[in-house]
Amino acid sequence: MTDTVQTEAVSGVEIFVPLNKLKKSPRNARKVPHGEAAIEALAASIQHKGLIQNLVVEPEVKADGSPTGCYFVTAGEGRRLAMLLRAKRKQIKKSEAVRCWLDTQNDPAEVSLDENVTRTPMHPADQFERFAELSRDRGWGAQEIGARFGVSASVVKQRLRLGAVSPKLLQVYREDGLTLDQLMAFAIAEDHARQEQVFESLHHNREPWIIRRDMTASNVPGDDRRAVFVGAEAYVEAGGNIIRDLFSEDRGGFFEDAGLLDMLATEKLREIAGEVQAEGWKWTEAHIAYPHAHGMRRFYPQTIALSDEDEARLEALSTEHDELAEGYSSYDELPEDVAEKLEAISDEIDAISAKRHAYDANVIAHGGAFVMLHHDGTVRIERGFVRLEDEALADPQPEPEAEGDATAPEAVEDEQAEDGDEDVREIEEEDEEPGKPISDSLTRDLSAHRTLALRVALAERPDLALIALTHTLTAQLFYSYTEAGCLEVRPTVTPLGSHADGIEDTPLAAKANEAREAWAERMPRDVATLWGFIVGMDDDKRLALLAHCASRTVNALRLPWDRKPRSLQTADRLATALALDVAKDWTPTVDSYLGRVTKAHIVEAVAEGVSEDAARRIADMKKPDMAQAAEQLLAGTGWLPVILRTPEPEADQSESVEVEDGGIVEQPSEAEAPDTGAEDGEASYAVAAE
């Protein structure tokens, strides 16, 4: 190179012009300026490879035709800007000589237009493969390649991933058999055989999300509870591989080895189970999901009075906490030192308060705990389970003796008496032995009279009827003692796990379990003291307990062998009264609904939940593709199948109607009306599935 400037206007020669003598041509065909990213890329390319292509220039002249010593860039304005960027970064001097091609014969405007029009850009597939070759053959990483071509490392990684797609699919892409979005979906995994297998199995619907779904069908999503619990770092350290989607939000990627993930999760849970067993439990078990079929009786912690020392300390801490927090509306406003002190006080308050509930020593010594995962990957510990063979040791309470227990010698003799002499002997012995219990027949007679009196008296005392009903239900639902209450009311709790797979591991089921456990922890240990416990409650808490017990007996199942239209009618009315919104906890997915109904039902759902146009767009798809597409369309719409919808409130059908003579006639309710619509009733149970 030389710093001399070629000033002769001799067309068709190569000259070297100082950078600061080059100007933008007023006849440049490109009016929209180059983007910053394009200039960055050109600057990086020139820095690493030099100026591959000359700038085309023409001399700038004054009004009299004499040269000014500067040159207009007819073609190569982007390269000029890239050189100026390098000069600004002190990589070169402003007087750096730039290789140019002097052209005074052609129209500068046409040359500029020609450069931007008469060219064929490289096919993206060729670019992807060349990037992959640079990485493979020269060992360059994404940072190095990005620096040489002026693109970010993340873009390079994407191109490298696309370049690693099966050559067969890249060729299909070159021939316009795949779109770039579809190719990116295949690039989620680098297994060429898997890519080709999924490609061959695709039907006419080749939506990218369907390709991604099929490519990761055997993998575990990063938001699965096992993946969240184990963590990506521990999984990779154990030799696992995580598939990352570089082209869309992958929510943590996909864990390739489900078996390894299960093993790591179980091992980690067993470590926690060991810590729990150190509390004194006889056994602990680690499970990923709750073992619903354990068949064990469960005991709950009992309320324990705090010591005088703990009560005093708790009161002092509460006072100190209130004094420190006074004047601040939220923790965000607290000074750092005050916030730290408040946190320490809160932790100590929680630790002392936890002493109010504890498991009986017998339960701990003979019982155990399950250590599992919540749906969100957090640890769930359930304590207090006792195996059948240990129940007597965990709950050594003697069974109450029945009245008139026939253990006396006279009773033994009585049992040995002949049937024919029984009445005579009974009369004689009653005369001779005044202390002998009365006969069974008389006992039944008298207790019947007392029962009738109780019924009449209880009917006149609704407040005590509420207590008796709550006591009966609570005794059976929390203690499994059917004989503990004197009301012949039998609650039935129908397990739902056999009717809907996975329902017991849902957030809604967790909420129900938490409510039950909260009540169970407050119950007295001995069912004999339950009556006094319920009597001692205030009205609101007693009603809340009754509501909880009643809620556990709700059964709105629609079973083909159990026709109960009036019960289901009542369930609808209950849902209406509660303003039930199932959409808060249920969404239509392939597994929950769309994959289990006919195509007609899917189209109908999309038409109702989205639009008729959306329904028409999926109407010709095959059922698996249609179900997947519908799941995406219905997400977040709140659409529900008819069976899950809450009926709109209607006018009361039992309103009284006046007749001509001024009397009142009570209209029968739907539940009391004769069942004349058998065909309609049967139709209501029909669920079409394919």
Which residues on neighbouring strands pair with residue 243, listed in sequence order?
A: 254
pLDDT above 70: percentage of residues in the chain: 83
Residue 562 has φ and ψ, to the nearest 5°, of -125, 85
pLDDT given at position 141: 81
Q: What is the pLDDT of residues 24-54, one digit of tens each?
A: 888 887 877 778 888 888 888 888 888 888 8
- In the 8-state DSSP scheme, what is residue 380? E
Residue 23, SS3? strand
Question: What is the per-residue DSSP string for 147-204?
Answer: HHHT--HHHHHHHHHHHTS-HHHHHHHHTTSS-HHHHHHHTTS--HHHHHHHHHH--S
Q: What is the pLDDT of residues 556-609, one digit of tens each?
A: 887 777 667 777 787 888 888 888 888 888 889 888 889 888 889 999 999 999
Closest by Cα among 502, 498, 506, 472 to 486 = 472
Domain boundary among 118, 151, 168: 118
Q: Are 575 and 499 in contact (CB under 8 A)?
A: no
Residue 386 lies in a domain: yes
Residue 213 lies in a domain: no
Q: What is the pLDDT of residues 221-251, one digit of tens each?
A: 888 889 999 999 999 999 988 887 777 666 7
Which residues on neighbouring strands pair with residue 302, listed in sequence order?
A: 358
Residue 474 lies in a domain: yes
Residue 533 has φ and ψ, to the nearest 5°, of -60, -45
Q: Are 247 and 160 in contact (CB under 8 A)?
A: no
Residues 444 and 577 in one domain: yes
Residues 385 and 488 in one domain: no
Longest dimension (CA), the chain: 155
Q: Are 128 and 158 in contact (CB under 8 A)?
A: no
Q: Are 394 and 383 in contact (CB under 8 A)?
A: no
**Predicted TM-score of the model (pTM):** 0.52
Residue 470 lies in a domain: yes
Strand pairing of 297-298 and 379-386? antiparallel
Supply 512's token pair.
């129900």
Q: What is the pLDDT of residues 513-537, one digit of tens each?
A: 888 888 888 888 788 888 999 999 9
Inter-residue long-range contacts of 524-532, CB under 8 Å, 24+ positions, other chains counted:
524/302, 525/302, 525/360, 526/397, 527/475, 527/479, 527/481, 527/484, 528/400, 530/471, 530/474, 530/475, 530/479, 530/484, 531/467, 531/471
Supply 631's token pair.
């799941």
Residues 370 and 461 in one domain: no
Residues 576 and 450 in one domain: yes
Q: Where are the beta strands (DSSP E) in 333-461?
A: 357-358, 368-373, 379-386
CA dihedral 21, 22, 24, 30 (to 10 degrees): 180
Residues 573 and 484 in one domain: yes
Q: Which domain holds residue 45?
A: 13-118
Cα-based distances in Å from 412 to 400, 407, 416, 458, 564: 21, 7, 7, 39, 51
Residues 289 and 359 in one domain: yes
pLDDT given at position 482: 58
Residue 29 lies in a domain: yes
Q: What is the pLDDT of residues 160-169, one digit of tens each?
A: 888 888 889 9
pLDDT given at position 369: 95
pLDDT given at position 18: 92
Beta-carbon-side half-sphere exposure of residue 456 (alpha carbons within 13 Å):
5
**Alpha carbon of residue 246 to chain centroid:** 23
Strand pairing of 297-298 and 67-75? unpaired
CATH of the domain at 67: 3.90.1530.30
Q: Which amino acid is residue 465, in one-letter code?
A: A
Q: Are 159 and 130 in contact (CB under 8 A)?
A: no
Average pLDDT of the chain, as a whole number: 79
Q: Where are the beta strands (DSSP E) in 494-548?
A: none
Residue 369 lies in a domain: yes
Residues 470 and 535 in one domain: yes
Q: What angle do CA 25, 28, 30 make, to 5 degrees?
A: 140
Burial class (CB in 10 A: 0-12, 13-18, 19+), 305: exposed
Task: Give the chain's count of helices (H) and strands (E).
Answer: 29, 16
pLDDT-wise least confident of 468-477, 532-541, 670-679: 670-679
**Alpha carbon of residue 178 to chain centroid:** 33
pLDDT-wise least confident of 68-77, 172-181, 200-209: 200-209
Q: What is the mean pLDDT of residues 329-339?
A: 75
Burial state string for 110-129 with b = 16 or more CB within 10 A and e = fewer than 16 = ebbbbbeeeeeeeebbeebb
Closest by Cα among 455, 447, 410, 416 to 432 = 410
pLDDT given at position 407: 38
Strand pairing of 97-102 and 242-243? unpaired
> Quick check: 381 pLDDT over 70?
yes
Residues 569 and 455 in one domain: yes
Cα-based distances in Å from 39 to 34, 45, 83, 111: 7, 10, 9, 21
**Torsional sign, CA 398, 403, 409, 414:** negative
- Helix H or strand E encompassing 68: strand 67-75
- Helix H or strand E encompassing 664: strand 664-666
Residues 48 and 105 in one domain: yes
> Quick check: 337 pLDDT over 50?
yes
Which residues on neighbouring strands pair with residue 232, listed in sequence order?
A: none
Q: What is the pLDDT of residues 91-112, one digit of tens each?
A: 989 988 998 989 888 888 888 7
Give the integer Cα–Cα distance in Å for 425 and 33: 122
Residue 666 lies in a domain: no
Which residues on neighbouring strands pair with residue 559, listed in sequence order?
A: 562
Give the integer Cα–Cα distance in Å for 542 and 464: 11
Q: How confident is the model at residue 436 (pLDDT cuts 50, 70, 90)?
A: low
Residues 462 and 570 in one domain: yes
Give the integer Cα–Cα distance in Å for 620 and 211: 19
Q: Are 565 and 684 in contact (CB under 8 A)?
A: yes
Q: Are 546 and 473 in contact (CB under 8 A)?
A: yes
**Torsional sign, CA 120, 124, 126, 132:** positive
Cα-based distances in Å from 109 to 32, 62, 116: 15, 19, 11
Cα-based distances in Å from 455 to 310, 441, 450, 488: 47, 21, 9, 12
Inter-residue long-range contacts of 661-670, CB under 8 Å, 24+ positions, other chains counted:
670/569
Q: Are 150 and 44 in contact (CB under 8 A)?
A: yes
Residues 357 and 387 in one domain: yes
Q: What is the pLDDT of residues 393-423, one digit of tens each?
A: 877 665 444 444 443 333 333 444 444 444 4
Q: How do the residues of the chain divide into helix, strand and coil, expressed in percent and rounded to 5?
A: 50, 10, 40
What length does the chain have? 690
- Helix H or strand E encompassing 571: helix 565-578
Residue 416 lies in a domain: no
Domain boundary among 92, 118, 144: 118
Cα-based distances in Å from 594 to 205, 206, 497, 683, 689: 17, 19, 20, 20, 10
Q: What angle do CA 416, 418, 419 make, to 5 degrees?
A: 120
Domain boundary among 564, 582, 600: 582
> Quick check: 3 pLDDT over 70?
no
pLDDT given at position 526: 80
pLDDT given at position 420: 46
Residues 299 and 381 in one domain: yes
Total domains present in the chain: 4
Closest by Cα among 369, 371, 367 to 266 = 371
